[in-house]
Every structure is written in C-alpha cells, then in structure tokens.
C-alpha cells in the first residue's frame, strides 16, 4: 500500500499542477484571478468549498497525530495540501504515516 500512496501523491502533484500552470500561462500569474475563476459558478464554488473543508479536516488530523507521535516531518503534507491540493496532501500523508516508526525516527534524527 505504501507504494500505491506514494504513486497517488506524485500523480496528485503532477496532474493538477499541469492544469494550474496551463491556466497561469494563459491568464497571467495572478492568484486572485485564479481564485475568482474558481468561483465562476455554483458548481465550481461547491467544489472549492468541498476541497477546502477536506483540506482543513486533513490538516487537523495531521496536526493531532504529529502532536501525539512527534513525527514533525509529516507536517510537509499540510504544505502539499494547501500548495498543490488534497489530491497530493492526503496520499502523501498516508504514505508518510505508513512508514515504520523506527525508520521514520532514524531519518528524522539525521536531518
């Protein structure tokens, strides 16, 4: 399962980013204009709010587990969620979470 989660995280980073970059190249590099485009109609606004709520729930789950397990590197999944999307952040966190505890601890100690 770990490899599947990693593959989904990579796919979830590349596929949406292709569309974001295509939009930015065509429309200009304004984040405000992109957010405005996301709310062009009720259907797209619904998707934006759906993903915002999912990203918030995922972030709270990650924070709660980081506090409990002291795996601070896992916070990178929050950055991936809000910089790329839930399609990258969720499978990335599941991949990181599925790493055996001893392996994660030894890698965190080296950083």
Go through 42-57 and write b for each residue having 16 or more CB atoms within 10 A of its CB, e for each that does not: eeeeeeeeeeeeebee
* Per-residue pLDDT, 105: 53
- Structurally, the chain folds into a number of domains equal to 1
**Structure tokens belonging to residue 44:** 């797209």
For residues 74 and 91, give the distance between their C-alpha atoms in angstroms, rounded to a whole number: 12
Per-residue pLDDT, averaged over 67-92, amounts to 96
44 compared with 107, residue with greater pLDDT: 44
- Structural domain of residue 105, as residue ranges? 2-110
23 and 37 in contact (C-beta within 8 Å)? yes
Determine if the pTM surpasses 0.85: no
Which one, of 100, 93, 102, 109, lies nearest residue 12 by Cα?
A: 93
For residues 28 and 62, give the distance between their C-alpha atoms in angstroms, rounded to a whole number: 33
> What is the helix (H) or strand (E) element at residue 39, kind and residue range?
none
Task: Render pLDDT for 41-54 as a digit per residue (tens, 0 to 9).
Answer: 999 999 999 999 99
């Amino acid at each position: 399962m770990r490899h599947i989660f990693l593959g989904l995280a990579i796919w979830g980073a590349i596929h949406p980013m292709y569309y974001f970059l295509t939009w930015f190249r065509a429309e200009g590099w304004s984040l405000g204009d992109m957010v405005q485009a996301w709310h062009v109609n009720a259907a797209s606004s619904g998707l934006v709010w759906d993903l915002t709520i999912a990203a918030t729930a995922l972030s709270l789950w990650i924070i709660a587990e980081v506090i409990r397990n002291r795996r601070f590197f896992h916070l990178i999944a929050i950055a991936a969620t809000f910089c790329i999307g839930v399609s990258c952040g969720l499978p990335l966190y599941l991949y990181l979470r599925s790493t055996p505890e001893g392996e994660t601890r030894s890698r965190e100690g080296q950083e």
